Amino acid sequence: MSTREVYVVDAVRTPVGRYGGGYAAVRPDDLAAHVLRALLDRSPGLDPASVDDVVLGNANGAGEENRNVARMAVLLAGLPTTVPGATVNRLCGSGLEAVIQAARAVAVGEASVVVAGGVESMSRAPWVLPKPDRAFPTGHQELYSTTLGWRMVNSRMRPEWTVPLGEGAELIAAKHGIDRATQDAFALASHAKAAAAWAAGDYAAEAVPYPGAELPRDESIRDGSTPEALARLKPVFRADGTVTAANSSPLNDGAAALLITDAAGLAATGREPLARIRASAVTGIEPRYYGLGPVDAVSRALERAGRRLSDLHVVELNEAFAAQALGCLAELPDLDPDIVNPRGGAIAIGHPLGASGARIAGAVAHQLAARGSGTGVAALCVGVGQGLALVLER
């Protein structure tokens, strides 16, 4: 079956807020509605009623985003009620999964114009109370935080599959001999690159600040950090470990959205696309080594696109942890580290789970547009052992 060309016409994102920071009072459905409205307002030639679907990633789904946040965002953004919406969950890869699903629908002719993206408010993630096994219990009941990580684990799950995310990073550090100093240096570089990118205006083309909480840049960036300051922090997951709060991605809030079309949809916008979507891949891996998931995903996606690592000009590799990102680079020795996260990564920018995949896909598209040509990859590790990758070209 022949497929259609798939274009990324535009991509926007909010500056990413820190946990309890600038977006702490903003509902996730409002964050999502904001990027939807901002994205479509930038293509005034496109009738919003022509949007065939809105697909958003969200990793929590237990709070204010619980009633299909994509559909709620459509309504809150003032789009016609005829525009549908679906929410997808592949944990940290949810936003990229939304982009991939949208691209697939366009490629096979089931849609002409789709908005894809993601949203997460880790600040507003609720505590949840499971229903008791029997009515009218007399003892105390336990609340679970839904901000991050495992909760209400099935007793049949093997313990090594349910290790904390940071312990998974420690395992990768041990596997590849990545010491604390190397991780801290990677983290410092992420902050420095992100700060420099904002100062240079590199994010101006995609940033759409939320009204009333106009963050001037991503709120978690610490461009004044020093190796000495990072070295003073204690490991979080092992007493003798290497993973600290500073060489890990923080908890964050944010949203991102991309306008994805076929040739007819592109013509309706009257715009030049940022990039084309060429291929994608999803893979599984041993859950405790979830952080290495992007390795096979990137390799498979490039094979499907008929490209090699040496053909790449920009890579956005989500930095869940410095050890995790460095482990992926160790297993992709032909990948030039200088083209990876050139404008900073999630350690500095932040990792609002459901939005991160859409953020990095949009980042690749904007960087390819700024170059004028080239091939790029967006890739993430996914908790519980998966990897996800997308190849874009211009």
Q: What is the DSSP letter of 372?
A: S
Q: Give me 375's structure tokens.
A: 């091939």
Q: Which of 34, 191, 328, 381 is catalytic?
A: 381
Residue type, 378: A
Q: What distances in angstroms separate CA 109 from CA 5, 6, 70, 227, one per listed residue?
A: 10, 10, 22, 52
Which residues have a Cβ under 8 Å from the Cβ of 2 and sit 6 or more positions away?
A: none
Query: Which amino acid, 373?
Result: S
- b/e map 367-384, b = 16+ CB within 10 Å: bbbeeeebbbbbbbbbbb
Answer yes or no: 351 catalytic: yes
**Which residue is associated with the tokens 């290497």?**
242
The catalytically annotated residue of 191, 313, 351, 366 is 351
Active-site hit among 92, 191, 328, 366: 92
How many other C-beta atoms lie within 10 A of the C-beta of residue 60? 25
Calculate the CA 63 to chain-centre distance. Answer: 19
CA-angle at 42, arms to 40 and 45, nearest 5°: 75
DSSP 353: H
Are the CB atoms for 320 and 346 separated by under 8 Å? yes
Q: Which contiguous run of DSSP H or E holds residue 227?
A: helix 227-231
Cβ proximity of 285 and 377 under 8 Å? no
Residue 188: strand, helix, or coil? helix
Question: Catalytic annotation on 328?
Answer: no
Active site residue 34: no
In angstroms, the CA 361 to CA 315 distance is 10
What are the catalytic residues? 92, 351, 381
